[in-house]
Structure formats: structure tokens, C-alpha cells
Structure 1
Amino acid sequence: MSAAANKALVLAFYQQAFNDGRPEQAAVHLGTTYTQHNPGAPDGAEGFIGYVHWLRGQFPELHLDIKRAIAEDDLVVTHSNLHLKPGDLGMAVADLWRVADDKIVEHWDVVQEVPEKSSNDNTMF
């Protein structure tokens, strides 16, 4: 797949899993092996599905606002604002996804809470 196709795949997957709350349907985009580098989430499609259900169970109004996505070769990077409940400042999330054979096979993320006060006038997005 091209970098553009990989980017479209990741964006559709992320939207379907988190904003639409349909991780079982999104999991069809995962490879037969799915390596997860987030220490709070298990490997594999079943682990991903369980993690999303757990997270949405804790925060039923969760919403992921994807601000930008960049793709190069088999890698896609997304930069998002994850809101656990309406009106919160949320968390800045940078995700790195690896795609192989038209499937998402690996994921890394870095998460940082958006503070109420900043030392500058720039946003995190």
C-alpha cells in the first residue's frame, strides 16, 4: 500500500474504534499479529478490543479529535486530542502505527495531559 493508503487505513481504524465505539469492526484492520507498545494494553486483536471496551467503560463519552496525520512508507503518525469527558482539556496523544500487507501490525504512543496553564501562548495542537 502507498503511504496515503496507509494513512487512510489508520484514520478509519482509529475513528471506528474510539469515536464510533466499534472496536470489533475496527479490529479487522489489524494483522494476524499486532504488537502493542503501550504498557497498559495487551498485544493482539482481542487485547485491543478488550482495551477499547475497558477505556470506553471508564469514560463512555470519550472522543478522539485527530488533529493531524503524517505517513511515510509503512509508518503513520497521528497527533490527537483525547477527551475522556465533554469539556475537559484532554490529553495530547502522539501515536505511531506500522502497517504491513494492508494491516496495522504495530503501535506505539506517547500521552501527555493538556495543562490548564502554560508558560507560553502556544497550544499543544
Structure 2
Amino acid sequence: MTTQSTTPDNKSIVQRALTALVATGDVDALAPLLSDAFLHHRPDATSSTKTEWLAAVRAALPPLAGMQVDIRHVLADGDHVVMHSLRRLPGGGPEIAVVDIWRIADGLIAEAWEIIEPVAQAAAHLVWWEPGDR
């Protein structure tokens, strides 16, 4: 029998996962919070499994060590949690805006989507629908 998690519970699952990853850089602490059937979806329509995604996160951590994360919004509705954050890469790297969407099932993160945009490019992306050469 499964029980549906409440929205505050789902928010705390995501917050624990992010704390485990960002604050400590411990990818192994993140793994138990992910469903075995976890899928990470990218805007280019590719997906990765739990094992593939954790390996990619592990590989990205050394260059991202010390990244500053400013969480602006955490919203939850049913089994979905959405987080909007601004992040600054270490060493004076560019500021990026990130939207993460997490789906929770049976107390674990089952799916994730993320959109990442360099803040410096945001103005150019606000006119994508206007006619002209692009």
C-alpha cells in the first residue's frame, strides 16, 4: 500500500537532497533519496537514469565546488516541487538562473527536470517570438 505524500513532506525531501548535494558535495548522500527508477530529463529531450545522473553529478562536482546557491522560490503542488534559484559559479563565473522540477513518488525523488540559463543572456531570450534573423 502506498500513501500520497503531503506537499510539505515533498518539499522537505527536495530540501534534504539539495542540502546533501550543495552544502556537503556528497553525492552518495543524495542517492538514497532517489527512486531506483529515477529519470532526469533535459531540455534537449534526452534522459538519464539514476546511475547515469549520479555519475554526471559526481563528475561535475569538482569544478562546481564552492558554487553559491541563492534559492528564490520553492513551490509544491501534490507530487511536484519546483525550485527557482540563482547560482554563481566559483571563481567569478557567470550567474545562472535555474528552475528545477522534481516529482516525488513513495517518499523518493522519481523524476527531475531542469532549465539553466545564464542571467547575462536572459534579455536576448525574452524576444524569441519576435520575427527577424535569429
Q: Is 1:77–2:92 an aligned residue pair?
A: no
Q: Separation in 2 of the partners of 1:53 and 1:23?
A: 6
Indicate the percent of aligned positions where both proteins have the same amino acid.
Answer: 25
Q: Is 1:62–2:67 an aligned residue pair?
A: yes
Aligned pair count? 118
For 1:12, the equivalent position in structure 2 comes to 16
Please list every run of 5 or more consecutive structure 1 residues that lacks an aligned counterpart in the other structure.
120-125
SS of aligned partner of 2:120: coil
Summarize the alignment of residues 1-125 of structure 1 with structure 2, pairs less than 5 Å apart: 1-38=5-42, 42-44=48-50, 46-115=51-120
The verdict on how the C-alpha distance between 1:10 and 1:90 changes in structure 2, with shifts beyond 3 A counting, is: same
User: Considering only CA atoms, is the larger Rg found in Structure 1 or Structure 2?
Assistant: 2
Report the alpha carbon displacement of residue 35 of structure 1 after superposing the two structures with TM: 0.8
TM-score normalised per structure 2: 0.77
Please list every run of 5 or more consecutive structure 2 residues that lacks an aligned counterpart in the other structure.
125-134
CA-based RMSD = 2.3
* Contact 2:99 2:116 survives alignment (8 Å): yes
Q: Separation in 2 of the partners of 1:66 and 1:41?
A: 25
